[in-house]
Amino acid sequence: MSTSSIKRYLLASAGLLLALGFASLSSWQFGRAGQKQAWLDQVEAARQAAPQALAAALAAPESAGVPMAVRGEIELRANPRLLLDNQQREGRVGLREYALVRAVGGDERWFLADLGWLPIAADRRLPALEELPARLDAQGLLAALPGQGLRLAPNPVATGPVALLNYLDVDELSQQTGLRLLPRLLRLDPALPIGHARDLDVLPNTLPPEKHRGYALQWAGLALAALVTTLLLFFRSRA
């Protein structure tokens, strides 16, 4: 085989590998779209269902991964106040506050409640926070904790009255606070008179399914273009 033929086959192989890589990325994006759409469908079904008792929902094994509409009285812990950094709402970057709570009448395990989004000053001074009630008749969605993505910086030790966090990690918080924390999140009903601006959007800081589908189509188009270009160049070079 001549040197030119070897080069032609090597270039064709590189082109096919590139097309395969683009196709893999397209498949991954379609998969992510399907996963998030299934999650949104589960959330919508939960919102349409009658609320369950919070203490019973926490004790049910199936509550670990399936969102549930719940209602019940909760006890709120005053310290530490947990503020999650770099949270977006309507195109603005701010903080999201989470409270350590537990169900009244349930077991002794604590979990997190979403108190909503609030802005942060340009000089990064932490905002003043209103005092939390000791107890609250709560309702909302009980779900798993959201994914936190890459951990670009470690969390400070949550021992003071306010902790500015880079991510949520219940194991880490359990060690620092000495509390038994469940990996659950109570997304409080926006109508409740507590906390800050919030809604029941379960994908506030990540791409919705339609964005993943759009990216999947783009990668599929690149895969097709790479394949067609490779084949045209390969067979033209043989002529």
For residue 123, what pLDDT is reported?
Answer: 84
Q: Does 27 have pLDDT greater than 80?
A: yes
Give Cα 53 to chain centroid, integer Å. Answer: 25
**Is pLDDT of 196 > 60?**
yes
Q: How confident is the model at residue 238 (pLDDT cuts 50, 70, 90)?
A: low
Check whether 82 has a pLDDT greater than 80.
yes
Predicted confidence (pLDDT) per residue in 203-222, tens digit: 655 677 888 999 999 999 99
Alpha-carbon distance values, 182 to 99, 117, 166, 193 (Å): 13, 22, 19, 25
| Average pLDDT of span 49-61 | 80
Place of tokens 């759009």: 214
Tell me if 173 sits within 8 A of 158, measured CB to CB: yes
42 has a pLDDT exceeding 80: no
Q: What is the pTM of this model?
A: 0.70
- DSSP of 78-125: -SPEEEEEEEEETTEEEEEEEEEEEETTS-S-EEEEEEEEEE--TT-P
Both tokens assigned to 217: 């189509």
H helix or E strand, kind and range, residue 44? helix 3-48
The predicted structure's pLDDT at residue 147: 66
Calculate the alpha carbon distances from 220 to 20, 24, 35, 101, 206 in Å. Answer: 10, 9, 19, 46, 22
Tokens at residue 59, please? Answer: 């004790």
Q: Is the separation of the CB atoms in 138 and 210 below 8 Å?
A: no
Q: pLDDT > 90: what percent of the chain? A: 28
Q: Could you give the CA distance from residue 19 to residue 221 in angstroms, rounded to a whole number?
A: 10
- Tell me the pLDDT band of 148, cut-offs 50, 70 and 90: low
* Residue 64's pLDDT band (cuts 50, 70, 90): low
Lowest mean pLDDT across 2-6, 120-124, 128-132, 184-188:
2-6
Q: Classify residue 86 by burial, with Cβ atoms within 10 Å: 0-12, 13-18, 19+.
A: middle
The arithmetic mean of pLDDT across residues 174-178, rounded, is: 86
pLDDT over 90 at 97, yes or no: yes
Q: Identify which has the larger pLDDT, 211 or 201.
A: 211
State in Å, rounded, how far the first CA of the chain is from the last one: 16
Give 62 or 169, the one with higher predicted confidence. Answer: 169
Nearby residues of 141 by Cβ (< 8 Å), 6 or more positions away? 43, 46, 47, 67, 68, 69, 70, 186, 187, 200, 202
CB within 8 Å of 164: residues ≥ 6 apart: 83, 85, 95, 126, 156
At 136, the pLDDT band (50, 70, 90 cuts) reads very high
What is the overall mean pLDDT for the chain?
83
